[in-house]
Structure 1
């Protein structure tokens, strides 16, 4: 096994030569001599063969070598290092296997953190980081949410087209890693990048966004999608009609839609009909709970079209989602609802919230006045006892 030398205190040219010697010892097609054209040409040739170390040595050795390359690369002026950075990223995204992938993820993360926060190359490094994270199922290590992503690039925001490309990749990666909720948030962010003038163009993105939200068994608040400009351009199409069913209708409306458009639902969209029914039952129950603080088992059985022996298990499933807070009265064969998440949040819900806040304010004022009265009485009593 080759043991790489530690030469970080050497001049850049000598460091590059040591790397040349190391890769030559691994059988890579590279000269041991320095390039007469300077450090950038040296590094270009080194990066061209850096994947030779993937076949030799352990992960610690490989990580050391890759970090050595990063340490040289970040000292080259960024305007002359762009092609080197891109070539290095491409090499590392092709590393085979889980262990090597993790090593390459660490090396690229070091490069990302070492670049000036105003460098436009940080975007390209991060894009490749996301690609590697998919290969090693480590997306959580590089992505912490849309807000964090935006803050990360705030000093040097990528172009709109670059962000759209990154959002599409993140959506794909998050779905493959079973991070469906995060994937949905990314897709909403993607659609939010389109202006009124360009909103008619991203039909595929809008359709993908709707489909991902409908297919995700943990996504129930679908109303915000209707406000997105690209989604609005789909009005009148079947996929938009289906979204409206999930946003505001009950189970019978979905069953009728499915009866009329079975081919569209199952084969064109690829949705699971039984999964759709399960979600629509939960959404229907939420809608009933908004206006019925007390529901009998018979009502639930009828509205949700389930068998009598399925009612209790269904209610337990509802409570697990935490969309509804309720108590099951098994002896009385009923459910007592204390609160529920609204499927839609329009004018009526804002009015209700305003009324609740007004009542809360009034109650606080009453408590405050009561406390003043008690305090005054205590002061008066203390004065009399002196």
Structure 2
């Protein structure tokens, strides 16, 4: 969404008076006369009744009126700007219907983009932009990811509390439509807590875990255990469930579910989806230490019917977490590489060994090339002497 504010070829005071007359004609409780206190007071009066135009049927007229209000807002110094911005945003947020709501969103988005990059008011506008975008189904048009969001506020970073509030809102509006992005937002939220206040983030931490477990595309869950608010949940059932998904096998999950069915259901988690994810995670764990896995091993370990083994293997390969070839005749899967479910000291040691071997090979290749180059130079010198 984009577009500059629209400016009329008349003074701000005259523009404000025209808006007063327009809203008066719609039956709004506002005087047609200019305020003796100046343009800022005019704007406060106009914002107080601006939602009256949202009931009109002429969408072009609604857009023109809202853009006129925005053009005045970005043209004057706002000493009490925060209250004015919040009031304007809240009234636009009550837009009746998706079409009018989208027009209101576009006007609010123009306001956001026309405020100075270092203005603290941009945060307040953006928060209400997300609220309204969620109502009209346009969140993807105004939010593309956490990194982009950080760049948007790099010139004037909001307070930690403000960002926590925004991350919670984003998680709420994303969780039912984009669980992967919602999970990233929640992880970012948990990262804003420190050792001092991590214990107060219990609800956020639980939401983060549940979102990650429920996301069908999230398999590497080990990083969650390093988040301070998540560590404060140690000893609770949600933490135990997370550790199962991080490092244990399907059998552990099934045992947990048998003992805590009501808990799993109370978190809004789907048992069948959990089993599906745990099968893939368990297969990854098998692949870490077994370059060749038989169908019989999968049937036993993953509790899959024989008729479903090949379909399961294809599903695993689609995730790109494991690279392998299936040999139907030999009833085996030959693994070439796999992602690690956890990355602890053992994995770091393995990576170190791989890098050392790579460095040694590069050094050997370099020395070989030096020898070849020296021999070539010697041969050339001999030819010249001859």
Alignment RMSD (CA, Å): 1.7
More displaced stretch, 165-174 vs 67-76: 67-76
* 1:293 CA drift (Å): 1.2
Query: 351, 354, 359: which is aligned to 2:352?
Result: 354
Q: Which region of structure 1 is more displaced relative to structure 2, 163-172 or 56-65?
A: 56-65
> Does 1:305 find its partner at 2:303?
yes
Match of 1:42 in 2: 42
Say if 1:26 and 1:56, in contact at 8 Å, map to a contact too: no
Report the equivalent of 1:259: 258
Q: Give the match for residue 3 of structure 2.
A: none
Give the alignment partner of residue 279 of structure 1, picking from 277, 282, 307. 277
Q: Which residue of 2 aligns with 1:136?
A: 136
User: Structure 1 stretch 105-114 or stretch 248-257: which is displaced more?
Assistant: 105-114
TM-aligned CA distance change 1:7 to 1:319, over 3 Å: closer
Question: 2: distance between equivalents of 1:105 and 1:379?
Answer: 72
Task: Rate the CA distance shift 1:81–1:263 in 2: closer, same or farther, 3 A.
Answer: closer
Deviations 1:6-28 (A, max 9, x none): 97121111010111222233343
Q: Aligned residue for 1:163?
A: 163
Cα distance in structure 1, aligned partners of 2:365 and 2:157: 50
Alignment of 1:101-116 (within 5 A): 101-116=101-116
Contact 2:55–2:96 at 8 Å: present in 1 too? no
- Correspondence for 1:190: 189
- Superposed displacement of residue 384, structure 1: 4.3
Residue 376 of structure 1 corresponds to 374
Q: State how far apart, in whole Å, the 1-side matches of 2:337 and 2:278 are.
A: 19
Secondary structure class of the residue paired with 2:336 = strand
User: Once structures 1 and 2 are overlaid, which stretch shifts more, 17-26 or 54-63?
Assistant: 54-63
- Shift of the alpha carbon at 1:160? 1.5
Is 1:59 aligned with 2:59? yes
Give 5+ residue unaligned stretches, structure 1. 1-5
Q: What does 1:168-317 correspond to in 2, within 5 Å?
A: 168-176=168-176, 178-266=177-265, 268-317=266-315
Distance in structure 2 (CA, Å) of the matches to 1:362 and 1:384: 33
Q: Answer with 239-248 or 98-107: which moved more.
A: 98-107
The equivalent residue for 2:322 is 324
Q: Which runs of 5+ in 2 are unaligned?
A: 1-5
Task: Flag the structure with more relative contact order, 1 or 2, with Cα contacts below 8 A and sequence separation at least 6.
Answer: 2
| Distance in 2 between residues matched to 1:352 and 1:275, nearest whole Å | 32
CA contact (8 A) 1:181 1:219 kept: yes
Counterpart CA distance in 2 for 1:24 and 1:385 is 100
Structure-1-length-normalised TM-score: 0.94
- Secondary structure of 1:116's partner? coil
Q: Deviations over 1:324-344 (max 9, x none)?
A: 111111222111111111111
Match of 1:3 in 2: none
Q: 1:337 aligns with which of 335, 349, 360?
A: 335
TM-score, normalization: structure 2? 0.94
The answer on whether the counterparts of 2:298 and 2:309 sit within 8 Å (CA) in structure 1 is yes
Question: Which region of structure 1 is more displaced relative to structure 2, 285-294 or 24-33?
Answer: 24-33
In 1, Cα distance between equivalents of 2:326 and 2:37? 79
Do the aligned residues in 2 keep the contact of 1:184 with 1:213 (CA within 8 Å)?
yes
